[in-house]
Chain A
Amino acid sequence: MPSFVRLMRPVLLAASLAVGGCVSAQFQQDPLERAVIDRQPAQALTILEKQNHKDRNAALYHLNKAVLLRMEGEFKASNAELEAAKQISQQLEAVSLREQADAVTVNDAMRSYLPPPFERAMLHCLEILNYLQMDDVDGAHVEALQQDVFLNQHYEKNEPPFARYLNGLVFEADGELSDAMIAYRKAYQAYRAAGLPVPQQLQADLLRLTDYLELKDEHDKFEEQFKLKHWPTQAELDKQGEVIAVVLSGLIPRKHETSIMVQDPENGRLHRISIPFYETRKPQVENMKLVSLNNTSEGELFARLDRQAYANLEDAMPGIIARTVARVVVKNKLSDNMAERSQLLGAITNIAGFITEQADTRGWNTLPQDILVGRIALAPGNHDIHIELDNSAGNMVGSETKQQVALRPKQKRFFSWHWPASHVTSRNPSHETNSSTTIYYRHRID
């Protein structure tokens, strides 16, 4: 036995180094990410299409393609991809016994990718934005109703506030002010529940609609709480048209893998536990401004998707750890069984189990990190709209222009831009945003 251990040690060490190589390779920048950051969606689409997409990652393929298509201005095609991802996600809600078995015997990434609730809420949001950008308010209305059902079904608490706010914008654009008020109220409650500041624009919306709908007690409460000096009344707003700009800034942090690898000194066996963690990123654009001749409106931060991603991983971590521990038990037993028949088979099984132990680091990586919203009310007519994108120091890093935007009274026109420029600030698995879970692995746990 000891001689066999001596013999196998170099082999097992090589396997360990091979796995180490795989881990470091994932820190290299993905060419698709580079193309997205460079705002080259056509190039990114080419890269995406050349990649090998497994059936179990079909939802991810459609989601990423949808973002790239909307960056190209192909909103209808983007919605077709989002619909495909939506259908797949609905089908994947049913639990697969086969995939669960694979997850407990091989690794978590063997399961089909079911986007977590915050990604599925963003699926609806992007579809809404696509419809709005095509001036199809009825299409956006359908999607907003679907999103409402989805949020009610999948969130008991901590709803994504931007999703609710966007629904409010859709209902308002469709002239359904009481429905808009309900959506804005839910957005307000979601910001408060998450401990996030309530955007001033939402404050003004709540004051305007509680005033118009004669919800006096609620209006008084908001007036006292918000202390806004100026907010437009519904009558004032109805005389004007409105341009609403949404900036999708940065790229959501990616998940990486952190592993604990140990070798049993008694039998030379390798053991490995891998769990995912999020890097942290900083978007280039942190502020925005809408300008039309003498009118200027400051945009605001409405969503931080990185926080939603961290919270989602935190919630999922107990399940991830439970499956990881179960895998260790299964793989150890399998190696033992094989070793009883042949030492070589036992070692091969051990190496196979060691190499296949990988964390599930999949995610919708083309999502933005932040969402900024700006609204500007203008007199009916045609207007050139300039949008200025600023970094955290207040320096303008980009700008966009929409020429001759036609506005009727009460009409709302929507535009959105992706500005994915961002950089990684940390790839340390122990940084504060990640799960603080520690796995102690000093002795065999089976």
Chain B
Amino acid sequence: MNYRLSGALALAAVLSVGGLMQGCSTSVKRVSTDEQIDLSGAWNDTDSRLVSQEMISDVLSRPWLSEFVSREGQQPAVIVGEVRNLSHEHINVNTFIGDMERELINSGKVEFVASSGERGEIRAERKDQELHAREDTRNPMGQELGADFMLKGTINTIIDTEGKQEVRYYQVDLTLIRLADNRKVWVGQKKIKKLVKHPGLRW
């Protein structure tokens, strides 16, 4: 009994020392920004990039675009409006909006208009130019490109947990609305489902 107990205590001591040593080093490794790394199961850069790519690819392949071009004889001007985060996670919606803006602009199929926040800053700069810039270099007021369509959306989640397992279901809904008459010309939806298993034991 005594030897068994001593052995158990020695094991506990070894475990303790091992634990102390384990926490001594930090390692850093550079990885590609396209590499898929899932650590916690939460919404991450991969989700943001994949969802924006797929949804923008979908919106640009639908008939509203060709109809607008044939009717107006020019590419439509699009603006990204509010994307509301109604999920269980504090998602940085700005990176998702940024990903969508990049996909839209790089497609070359639509004109892209600055957001309301960005417009305010640019207008202030133009106003400043009127006072301080040389006349031949000034950009006049009233020449902005008005958007024809606004892209809006929501991110929703359903979380189901049981013990150490968790199912995370994400649903991103985007709607393209024509500003002239509020008509919805495209509704897109992308779903992601993740099974997250939390560890029952740790060091």
Verify A336–B159 contact, CB threshold 8 A: no
**Which of B5, B12, B15, B88 contacts A145, CB < 8 Å?**
B88
* Interface segment out of the listed B71-79, B106-114, B194-202: B194-202
Verify B201–A96 contact, CB threshold 8 A: yes
Verify B12–A102 contact, CB threshold 8 A: yes
Neighbouring A residues of B90 by C-beta, 8 Å: 83, 139, 142-143
Report the minimum CB–CB distance from B168 to chain A (whole Å): 10
Verify B15–A149 contact, CB threshold 8 A: no
A149-B88, A149-B161 known; A96+B203 contact, CB < 8 A: yes
Q: How distant is the Cα of A270 from the Cα of B51 in the complex, in angstroms?
A: 66
Verify B88–A142 contact, CB threshold 8 A: yes
Report the minimum CB–CB distance from A346 to chain B (whole Å): 13
Neighbouring B residues of A92 by C-beta, 8 Å: 202
Report the minimum CB–CB distance from B38 to chain A (whole Å): 15
**Within 8 Å of chain A (Cβ to Cβ): is B46?**
no
Q: Is the interface of A mostly helix, strand, loop or mixed?
A: helix
Q: How distant is the Cα of A149 from the Cα of B84 in the complex, in angstroms?
A: 20
Neighbouring B residues of A105 by C-beta, 8 Å: 9, 12
**Which of B19, B85, B161, B201 contacts A153, CB < 8 Å?**
B161
Verify A98–B203 contact, CB threshold 8 A: yes
Verify A149–B159 contact, CB threshold 8 A: yes
Report the minimum CB–CB distance from B57 to chain A (whole Å): 28
**Which of B5, B16, B159, B198 contacts A337, CB < 8 Å?**
B5
Neighbouring B residues of A397 by C-beta, 8 Å: none
Of residues 15 to 49 in A, which have CB atoms within 8 Å of B's CB atoms? none
Report, as a range, how many residues of chain A touch the other chain: 20 to 34
**Within 8 Å of chain A (Cβ to Cβ): is B23?**
yes
**Within 8 Å of chain B (Cβ to Cβ): is A53?**
no
Verify A333–B88 contact, CB threshold 8 A: no
Encoded as 1 (CB less than 8 Å from any B CB) or 0, chain A from 329 to 348 comes to 01001101100100000000
Verify A337–B201 contact, CB threshold 8 A: no
Of residues 86 to 124 in B, which have CB atoms within 8 Å of A's CB atoms? 86-91
Encoded as 1 (CB less than 8 Å from any B CB) or 0, chain A from 75 to 108 comes to 0000000010000001111111110011011000
Encoded as 1 (CB less than 8 Å from any B CB) or 0, chain A from 350 to 383 comes to 0000000000000000000000000000000000
Residue of A nearest to B3 (CB): A337
**Within 8 Å of chain B (Cβ to Cβ): is A141?**
yes
Encoded as 1 (CB less than 8 Å from any A CB) or 0, chain B from 17 to 48 comes to 01100010000000000000000000000000
Verify A337–B6 contact, CB threshold 8 A: yes
Neighbouring A residues of B6 by C-beta, 8 Å: 334, 337
**Within 8 Å of chain A (Cβ to Cβ): is B2?**
yes
Verify A93–B198 contact, CB threshold 8 A: yes
Neighbouring A residues of B201 by C-beta, 8 Å: 94-97
Neighbouring B residues of A101 by C-beta, 8 Å: 11-12, 15-16
Verify A94–B200 contact, CB threshold 8 A: yes
Residue of B nearest to A143 (CB): B90
Neighbouring B residues of A102 by C-beta, 8 Å: 12, 16
Verify B12–A333 contact, CB threshold 8 A: no
A95-B201, A96-B203 known; A142+B87 contact, CB < 8 A: yes
Residue of A nearest to B88 (CB): A145
**Which of A55, A138, A149, A333 contacts B2, CB < 8 Å?**
A333
Neighbouring B residues of A97 by C-beta, 8 Å: 15, 201, 203
**Which of A96, A98, A138, A152 contacts B84, CB < 8 Å?**
A138
Report the minimum CB–CB distance from B8 to chain A (whole Å): 8
A138-B85, A146-B88 known; A334+B202 contact, CB < 8 A: no
Q: How distant is the Cα of A171 from the Cα of B46 in the complex, in angstroms?
A: 30
Verify B85–A98 contact, CB threshold 8 A: no
Neighbouring A residues of B85 by C-beta, 8 Å: 138, 142
Q: How distant is the Cα of A149 from the Cα of B169 in the complex, in angstroms?
A: 14
Verify B198–A94 contact, CB threshold 8 A: yes
Neighbouring B residues of A104 by C-beta, 8 Å: 12
Of residues 263 to 285 in A, which have CB atoms within 8 Å of B's CB atoms? none
Verify A55–B89 contact, CB threshold 8 A: no
Report the minimum CB–CB distance from A234 to chain B (whole Å): 22
Residue of A nearest to B22 (CB): A98
Residue of A nearest to B4 (CB): A333
Verify B161–A334 contact, CB threshold 8 A: no
Verify B23–A55 contact, CB threshold 8 A: yes
Report the minimum CB–CB distance from A17 to chain B (whole Å): 28
Verify A98–B15 contact, CB threshold 8 A: yes
Q: What would 9 A/B residue contacts be, using CB atoms closer than 8 Å?
A: A97-B201, A98-B19, A101-B12, A101-B16, A142-B88, A142-B89, A146-B89, A152-B161, A333-B1
Interface residues of A (CB under 8 A from B): 55, 83, 90-98, 101-102, 104-105, 138-139, 141-143, 145-146, 149, 152-153, 330, 333-334, 336-337, 340
The 3 closest A-B pairs by CB, nearest first: A101-B12, A94-B202, A98-B15
Q: A92-B202, A152-B161, A334-B9 are in contact. List 11 more A-B contacts (CB 8 A).
A: A93-B198, A94-B201, A97-B15, A97-B203, A105-B12, A145-B87, A145-B159, A146-B89, A153-B161, A330-B5, A333-B1
